[in-house]
Amino acid sequence: MGAEVLAGTVREILTFRPEDGRVVLRVEGTGARPQIVVAPRARLVPGARAVFRGRWQTRDHLGRHFLADQVEVGLPAERSEIIRFLASGLFPGIGHRRAELLAARFGAHLWEVVRRDPGRLREAGIGPKTAETLRRTLAETEAAWATLGRLQAAGADPVLARLLLEAFGPEAPARLDRDPYALVGLVPGFGFEL
């Protein structure tokens, strides 16, 4: 049976499970109620849009929830989501008030402004140091999302994908493509079945 798909916006991070590198989230999708999702840790923060692939299951402590094996994360476009995402703590120097100013001034175009012309953030009262921090953090976050997606698509389980990302950053897929055997011993838990 193929994987099911659940798409939505992360509303809240309920807990992090270090034993398997997953987070428990409250996700708001197209349904009437937010859903509980257990997903690979992938810089998922409130306000982020995500598409989860996995299956529904029921456990005593969580009840009915979606267990995601893969996640694709994207930037929010709605004003309220942008504010929540920016004020999530992922971006140093950006709290709720600054997030509101940025969302009000740039709306869904904010991400292009941050990438291409961060100096324009002064229009919303953001100084050059904070603008550069925002640009750098956004670039790092998007690179992490892309890297995790590529590693998971190549068959790496969520924990291994996270370890490879932490060890090699955005170069992890290229290193894995060039010489997968070179990674043995460099990343705890990485190996091959014989």
164 in a domain, yes or no? no
Q: Could you give the number of structural domains in the chain?
A: 1
43 in a domain, yes or no? yes
- 70: containing domain: 4-74
121 in a domain, yes or no? no
CB 10 within 8 A of CB 31: no
Res 38 pLDDT > 90: yes
42 in a domain, yes or no? yes
Phi, psi of 187 (to 5 degrees): -120, 120
**pLDDT-based confidence at 189, cuts 50/70/90?**
low
pLDDT at 112: 97
Mean pLDDT of the region 14-31: 86
CATH of the domain at 50: 2.40.50.140
22 in a domain, yes or no? yes
Interatomic CA distance for residues 27 and 80, integer angstroms? 15
Here the tokens at position 7 are 């798409």
User: CA 168 → CA 43, 143, 150, 152, 182, distances in Å?
Assistant: 16, 12, 14, 15, 12
31 in a domain, yes or no? yes
pLDDT tens, position by position, 155-176: 777 677 777 778 888 788 888 7
Interatomic CA distance for residues 157 and 120, integer angstroms? 40
Here the tokens at position 148 are 């995790």
Percent of the chain with pLDDT over 70: 93
